[in-house]
Amino acid sequence: MIGADVFMNKYILQPNLPTGAAAIINIIYDALNKKESIIKLESIINKAILSVDFNTLLIYEQLTVKLFFEILMDFTRQGWEFSYKDNNLIAYPPDELSLKSKNVTDIKNKIKRGLEEARNKQLNKPAIKRFIFNQERPRMFKGRKVSILNHFLNPIDLYNDLINRLNSPEELRHELIAESIKPYIQLVKPNERDQFTNIKLGNIWRYARYSWSLPLNSMVGRQLRYLIRDASRDFHPIIGLGELANSIAQISCRDEEIGWSLKAMEESPNKEDQFNSLEQALNNTLETEYYYEDLLDVNEIEKPTDETLRKLKCVIDGLKPIVEKNKPYKNTSSIINDTLREDYTLKRAQDLSELLHCRIWFQLSKKNHESALNRFHWLLTSKDGKKALKNAIKNVKKIYMGATMMDISTCGALPPYSDLLGGKLVSLLMASPKVINDYNERYKTAESHIASRKKGEKVIKPATLTLLVTSSLYYTGSSQYNRIKYSTEKGTIKYSCVGKTRGFGSVHISDESYKLMHELLVEHPDLKPEANNFSAGVNYKMRTISNSLGFLGLRKLQQHENPRLVYLIPLAVNWKEYLTGVDKSPKYIFDLDKQEEEIDGIINFWKKRWYIDRINKREILNSLRYKEGIKISNFINSTGDDDLDPTPSNTNLNHLPQLESFGAKI
């Protein structure tokens, strides 16, 4: 039997492994039952792979066993425990082990150690090691020796400065304390260099980001990166980092809160206006957003029938096997030529089939009822009617999600500013008018490649950033986002928790495991690789992981059991109305024309609300005396390449940034 049954919070697994590997598998099971250390378990696995029994297996059987072992190690390193009894492999996630004592700190530490394991493996990759050592290497600029380490403030230097200010005469103390930090937010632009060290801003951001517990992964799509810096000190040291990235496609609690679900629409007091906006968006999409001349005539678009849908189904059935067999295409400079390719033709046919089904049923509702409210309720009475409503809502979500909403994928402060609640400052500044204006400036003329090829001509989507979404690093709670609330004359910026993710993702799967998954899907006679073509579906990586774990009988382990709390940060007072299509433009909480004044207001609020109170706590200040500064090379294993290391290793990263955003995408 292949699969997993969940009993409370332990997983009873029955792995699908080659019978010829039974002897070496039993050795590993015995080691799991003995609770061997990670180092010992890894050693036993390495010996098993070199054994005669292993080498007599077929290639695809060897890959199956290797992948199984690698998955075991991935999860063991991240705090999971395994046992084997009664022909079942039993997996215990970290939260199950920690909750025996209900110790929140213990849970957080287990999660953090697991994430750091993947981060440290990333740092030891040759290309990344070279980058880190190169950035730390001193070089001359404007008559003085500098390196990237100049951008990170030494905690003891901050301690000494703040103590002097706090011990100053009373008549000067308030002003000196207020001037002890001068934050500002800086957009990281491609190839722009820092004025103090001549290092690329992108390299400074990347280097600092390697101090996060989470590995740094490349992202596609829209992206903005920020440095939050302190102008009160030499080199303007980094207070913290921020990053916006494309939003994750599926987060149920977020979509419910916005109104992008049938349930949310049923409960909305604004159903009539929302229904009208669904129909208007549907009509606009069909009439202006798709090239359809090679598939249907205009009458079939305006008045579709069941025969229209059958016609599209024939196209879909004919193109699917062709597209799945082909390698991924690359877009060319000719939009219309791309539009007529098999992959885009398939996608256009699939989308049009959904949208025209909606139009058929919306038109039927109009024949039966006059008012929008009655039409909505009539559609709810049938399966096809509900399907039409769901797809119409999905269409509105597609319109707004990729253009007016972004995820805060990185958000947090670096030491020593993290001890002074700099993370709350970073969180506030990521919702500032500068970010809204930067987003508009960068993307107001940007071509949407996929939308352009669906339409057959260049498409530019709006760049009106209206909602930010982020998630906590720990499902037990977020100290960084708690109590973040800043009011203006027009409204309030607030981090509102709306639920949590289901805990699925790929962060717990190592690069080695993912590579083995690819090899197994290629080599095994009963499997085939996931298609990576445009029309094959979203998230190629997640489909590959699901397919491989499913074959192994370990699919339940795709749920890494570390769900994140989901936070919404509306930037406009009418954000729900705008994102559901009811309102045509956002009404921003900040005055975008007074960017500097608004940012000064945010900074002064943070100083009064958190910073000054924090530095007046002597136990907080005293702790800075024992903290170390940032030097990423201290996380890199010694390899004997002494020529790579540019500086003596006199600092470490025992004090990690207090980060809250997961970005990535969960």
Same domain, 513 and 397: no
Instruction: Give tens-digit pLDDT for 292-301.
Output: 999 999 999 9
Same domain, 388 and 520: no
Q: Cβ distance 211 to 656 under 8 Å? A: yes
Sheet (strand 4-7) strand order:
4-7, 10-13, 88-92, 81-85
Instruction: Give tens-digit pLDDT for 33-69.
Output: 998 888 899 899 999 999 988 999 999 999 999 999 9
Four-residue CA torsion sign, 32, 33, 38, 41: negative
570 belongs to a structural domain: no
Task: Considering only residues 467 and 539, tell me which one the structure prediction assigns the higher pLDDT.
Answer: 467
Residue type, 192: E
Least confident of 174-188, 316-330, 580-594, 617-631: 316-330
pLDDT higher than threshold 50 for residue 426: yes
Around 481, how many Cα atoms within 13 Å sit in the side-chain half-sphere? 30
Q: Cβ distance 257 to 498 under 8 Å? A: yes
109 pLDDT tier (thresholds 50, 70, 90): low
Number of domains in the chain: 2
pLDDT higher than threshold 60 for residue 418: yes
Buried b / exposed e across 566-577, counting CB within 10 Å, b at 16+?
A: bbbbbbbebbbb
Four-residue CA torsion sign, 427, 429, 434, 438: negative
282 belongs to a structural domain: yes
What's the CA gap between 290 and 271, in Å, rounded? 28
Contacts of 239 (CB under 8 A, 6+ apart): 181, 183, 228, 229, 230, 413, 414, 417, 422, 425, 426
Residue the block writes with tokens 């339409």: 455
Please tell me the predicted confidence (pLDDT) of residue 11. 85
Residue 73's domain spans which residues? 4-92+509-558
Instruction: Give tens-digit pLDDT for 355-367.
Output: 999 999 999 999 9
153 belongs to a structural domain: no
Same domain, 398 and 281: yes
Give pTM, 2 decimals: 0.83
* Long-range residue pairs from 630-634, CB within 8 A, at least 24 positions apart, any chain: 630/149, 630/152, 630/208, 630/211, 630/414, 630/415, 631/136, 631/149, 632/123, 632/132, 632/136, 632/207, 632/210, 632/211, 633/132, 633/133, 633/136
Same domain, 397 and 524: no
Residue type, 292: Y
Task: Report the DSSP beta bridge partners of residue 200.
Answer: 193
CA 523 vs CA 58, 186, 387, 519: distances in Å:
10, 48, 40, 6
Instruction: Give tens-digit pLDDT for 628-652.
Output: 889 999 888 744 343 444 444 433 3
CA dihedral 459, 460, 465, 467 (to 10 degrees): 0
Burial class (CB in 10 A: 0-12, 13-18, 19+), 539: middle
Please tell me the predicted confidence (pLDDT) of residue 648. 41
3-state SS class at 653: coil
Token couple for 188: 């990281």
Length of the chain: 666
Token couple for 280: 């208007």
pLDDT higher than threshold 80 for residue 502: no
Among 389, 404, 419, which residue terminates a domain?
A: 404
Please tell me the predicted confidence (pLDDT) of residue 218. 77
3-state SS class at 303: coil
Among 558, 584, 616, which residue terminates a domain?
A: 558
Same domain, 258 and 398: yes
Nearest alpha carbon to residue 651 among 625, 630, 624 = 630
503: region left, alpha or beta (phi > 0 left; psi from -120 to 50 alpha): left
The total of other beta-carbon atoms located within 10 Å of residue 124's CB is 12
Among 404, 431, 447, which residue terminates a domain?
A: 404
What does the DSSP assignment read for 364-419?
HHHHH-SSHHHHHHHHTTSHHHHHHHHHHHHHHHHHHHHHHEEEEEEEEEPTTGGG
Contacts of 323 (CB under 8 A, 6+ apart): 342, 343, 346, 531, 533, 535, 536
Same domain, 258 and 391: yes
The total of other beta-carbon atoms located within 10 Å of residue 295's CB is 18
What's the CA gap between 340 and 349, in Å, rounded? 11
475 belongs to a structural domain: no
541 belongs to a structural domain: yes
Please tell me the predicted confidence (pLDDT) of residue 388. 98
Helix (H) / strand (E) containing 52: helix 52-55
Residue the block writes with tokens 């100290």: 479
Nearest alpha carbon to residue 148 among 163, 164, 162, 137 = 137
What's the CA gap between 625 and 638, in Å, rounded? 28
Please state the φ and ψ torsions of residue 6, each to the nearest 5 degrees.
Answer: -100, 125
Please tell me the predicted confidence (pLDDT) of residue 572. 98
514 belongs to a structural domain: yes
Instruction: Give tens-digit pLDDT for 193-235.
Output: 999 999 999 999 999 999 987 788 777 789 999 999 999 999 9
Contacts of 327 (CB under 8 A, 6+ apart): 533
11 belongs to a structural domain: yes
What's the CA gap between 389 and 265, in Å, rounded? 10
Task: Report the DSSP beta bridge partners of residue 568.
Answer: 469, 496
277 belongs to a structural domain: yes
